[in-house]
Amino acid sequence: MENGLFAIVMVLALVVLLLIFAVLALARQIGILHTRLSPAGALMTTAGPKPGEVAPVLTLADIKGVPVKIGGPRKLAQLIMFVSPSCPICKDLVPIAVNMARTEGLSLMFASDGGEISRHEDYMRRMKIDNLPYVVSLELGVKYEVGKLPYAVLIDDAGVLRSKGLVNSREHLESLVYSMQSGYESIQDYLVKEELLGEKA
């Protein structure tokens, strides 16, 4: 009887050890996979103005009727977030954009392509962005050929378009700023150029 219990305990101990080794092996494989995956920045689109080009200069009235200048030389780089009250991802990204603009020293504005003004006003109050410029303009979306939301455009203090793209996460938004700081159009552009440099070396 005691021999039988001892044998069962030994088998269970062996199973537990095997499970521990399996978990460690899986953790190692996940770590290797993580290092091999390239960082994903904002999804760049080929339509509209290209990074490195001077951004179109527009002066549009915001939702309160105050003129807002978009593009051109300015004190701070300008981040334009294209959002919509009906966009669920926008709801999560708006506070992230506000926080990032504050910490990175960016001038932030929001834009949408249309709909009832009262709906946008309600959205601004709910998202606590009624102190920031919010432009409802089909023209602005057409200029940058915005097809999907949320979309962001970053223009530097000299009025040059530095980065743009579809943004679905904090990392996507941060990649726009990193692109401006590094001089690369996007993370994908950085990876391609680094690979080419590696091949030449």
- pLDDT given for residue 26 in this prediction: 85
Q: Tell me how far CA of residue 38 lies from CA of 28, 34, 35, 79, in angstroms.
A: 18, 8, 8, 25
Total domains, the chain: 2
Q: Judge contact between 155 and 161, C-beta under 8 A.
A: yes
Q: Are residues 71 and 117 in the same domain?
A: yes
Between CA 3 and CA 7 the distance in angstroms is: 6
CATH number of residue 192's parent domain: 3.40.30.10
Q: 21: domain range? A: 1-37
Instruction: Name the average pLDDT for the chain.
Output: 84
Instruction: Tell whether the model's pLDDT for residue 156 goes beyond 50.
Output: yes
Which has more pLDDT, 62 or 30? Answer: 62
Residue 66 to residue 62: CA distance in whole angstroms: 5
What region, left, alpha or beta, does residue 146 occupy, with left being phi > 0 and alpha being psi -120 to 50 degrees?
beta
pTM, whole model, 2 decimals? 0.71
Q: Quick check: 63 and 120 in contact, CB under 8 A? A: yes
Cβ within 8 Å of residue 137, ≥6 positions away: 60, 111, 112, 113
Residue 53 domain flag: no
Q: Which span out of 21-25, 30-34, 63-67 was modeled with the highest average pLDDT?
A: 63-67
SS3 58: strand
Q: Does the pLDDT value for residue 173 go beyond 80?
A: yes
Lowest mean pLDDT among 42-56, 152-166, 186-200: 186-200
Do 63 and 23 have their domain in common? no
Model confidence pLDDT, tens digit, residues 68-106: 999 999 999 999 999 999 999 999 999 999 999 999 999
- For residue range 103-138, list pLDDT tens digits in order: 999 999 999 987 889 999 999 999 999 999 999 998
In a shared domain, residues 32 and 122: no
